[in-house]
Structure formats: structure tokens, C-alpha cells
């Protein structure tokens, strides 16, 4: 009886080990497929949403700048033009400020994100 078991020993070990190797290989293959799929989805999302996200940030920056300019002008107008209704008087108030504003606008155009493309 022991001799019969001794003869089966070289057969039993591989028979038990082979399914373990097969399950481990299958699991590794499934993990690799999952990682590749995740990489593909990540790349697709980046290519699709990346430009839209950049556009959103640029638009938000421009809107914030417009809001800031509106707030500053709303603060300054009562100081400079309080009670002024005549268009000629309004122009007299605005005229000295125009060259500085135009210089500032020209400088801002050089720094504008839309100029980067």
C-alpha cells in the first residue's frame, strides 16, 4: 500500500499545483485587462474633457476680470461723477483717464491667455 502511494506522489503534487497556477495566471490576466481598460478610459476622458476644462478656466478668468473692473468702476464713479448728468461734463471727467486705461488694455492684451494659442 505504501509503495502504491509512493508511486502516486509525483502525480499528486503537479495535479494539485497546476490548477493553482492556472487560477493565478487567469487572475493576473484579468487584472492586466482591468488596468488597460482603466488607462484607456483615463486617456479618453483627458482628451475629451481637458480642452473643455481649459476653456472653462479661461472663461472664468475673463468673467472675474470683468466683474473686478465693474466693481472698481462702480466704486470710482460716485467719487468722480456724482451728480453729473451732462454728457460733456461726463466726457471731461473720463478724458484724463482714457490714455492710462488704453495703455493698461494694451498691456493686458499681451498677457491675455487667448494670445497663447
pLDDT tens per residue across span 1-39: 567 777 777 788 788 888 888 999 999 999 999 999 999
Residue 55, pLDDT score: 93
Tell me the three cell numbers of residue 97.
483717464
Nearby residues of 84 by Cβ (< 8 Å), 6 or more positions away:
90, 93
CA distance 48 to 42: 10
User: In the structure, what pLDDT confidence band is assigned to residue 115 with cuts at 50, 70 and 90?
Assistant: very low
The domain segmentation of the chain, as residue ranges, is 2-109
Residue 109 DSSP class: H
Residues across the chain = 117
The pLDDT tens digits for 86-110 are 777 777 766 666 666 666 776 666 5
Amino acid at each position: 500500500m505504501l509503495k502504491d502511494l509512493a508511486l502516486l506522489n509525483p502525480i499528486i503534487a503537479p495535479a494539485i499545483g497546476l490548477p493553482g497556477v492556472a487560477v493565478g495566471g487567469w487572475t493576473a490576466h484579468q487584472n492586466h485587462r482591468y488596468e488597460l481598460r482603466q488607462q484607456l478610459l483615463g486617456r479618453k476622458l483627458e482628451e475629451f474633457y481637458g480642452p473643455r476644462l481649459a476653456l472653462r478656466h479661461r472663461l472664468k478668468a475673463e468673467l472675474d476680470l470683468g466683474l473686478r473692473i465693474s466693481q472698481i468702476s462702480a466704486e470710482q464713479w460716485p467719487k468722480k461723477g456724482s451728480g453729473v448728468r451732462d454728457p460733456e461734463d461726463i466726457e471731461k471727467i473720463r478724458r484724463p483717464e482714457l490714455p492710462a486705461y488704453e495703455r493698461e488694455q494694451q498691456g493686458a492684451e499681451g498677457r491675455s491667455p487667448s494670445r497663447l494659442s
